[in-house]
Amino acid sequence: MDSGEGMPVNADLMKFIDAIQHQQDSQGILRIMQEAIGHYGFTSFIISGLPEDDLDPEAAILLSGWNAEWYKRYTSLNYAQHDPVARNCYVTSLPFEWAEVHYDAEADPMAHRVMEEARAHGMENGLCVPIHIEGQLQGVVSFAGDPKRLDERQRLEVHMLSLYAYGQLRFLSRLAERQGERPTLTRRESEVLGWVAAGKTAGEIATITGMTARTVNQHCENAQKRLGTSNRVHTVVEAIRLKLISL
């Protein structure tokens, strides 16, 4: 099998792809990806679908191999909305370096803030792989590290690795939905329901958490859909029963 004329596919890459395709849970894929990215000089990665406006950005993330502190900051402050690397995925289907993304720091201070804080967390540069399926952007795989050390073949290998990892994670996610796997909540949904259980109104929760009341209500609605409940009280009771939140 060739990845291009005169460029045979690396045997290690095929080993990683085969292992990914045989995984039945995301933690198995995480372990394989952490080993695989080291072969290309990357230190961390994230795999995500597309976040929806006003919804918890963490719900779109399929797998995180990022530094825990940066991951928490990125998701809790909804940096995905301002991340110039994420936005660039909408204008190209080809992998690109973070450093290649241009933005006006004065006109777009939040984009500048995201990039500067990423650098402060040791993520100076990286390679981003947009996942386009049937001509539509479906998600993104982003690696932190120095992509300049990669040759043409290695960049192609990273692209292939990204496609297979994203595809298997999507497959497992849909399989779990069909099999009625025990429901889960995102961190934000659990936080909001915890405050609801404590008797707080949407307005009070918004003040406590820094979210808008609309976002608070959206988290409650999302949790209700996940748990298959009929109203907010029912959702809180079911979340406590499943030990997804505690009083």
Give the pLDDT confidence of 132-181 residue by residue, as tens digits. 987 889 999 999 999 999 999 999 999 999 999 999 999 988 777 666 66
Q: Which domains occur in the chain, in start order?
A: 11-178 (3.30.450.80), 187-241 (1.10.10.10)
d(CA 190, CA 196): 10
First to last CA, the chain: 57
Cα 190 to Cα 33, 66, 81, 176: the distances in Å are 28, 22, 22, 20
Contact 142, 85 (CB under 8 A): yes
Res. 50 pLDDT band, cuts 50 70 90: confident
Beta strands in the chain (DSSP E): 42-49, 61-64, 96-97, 126-133, 136-145
Structure tokens at 83: 């991340």
Give the pLDDT confidence of 77-102 residue by residue, as tens digits. 989 999 999 999 999 999 999 999 99
d(CA 29, CA 112): 32
Pairing of strands 126-133, 42-49: unpaired
d(CA 236, CA 126): 41
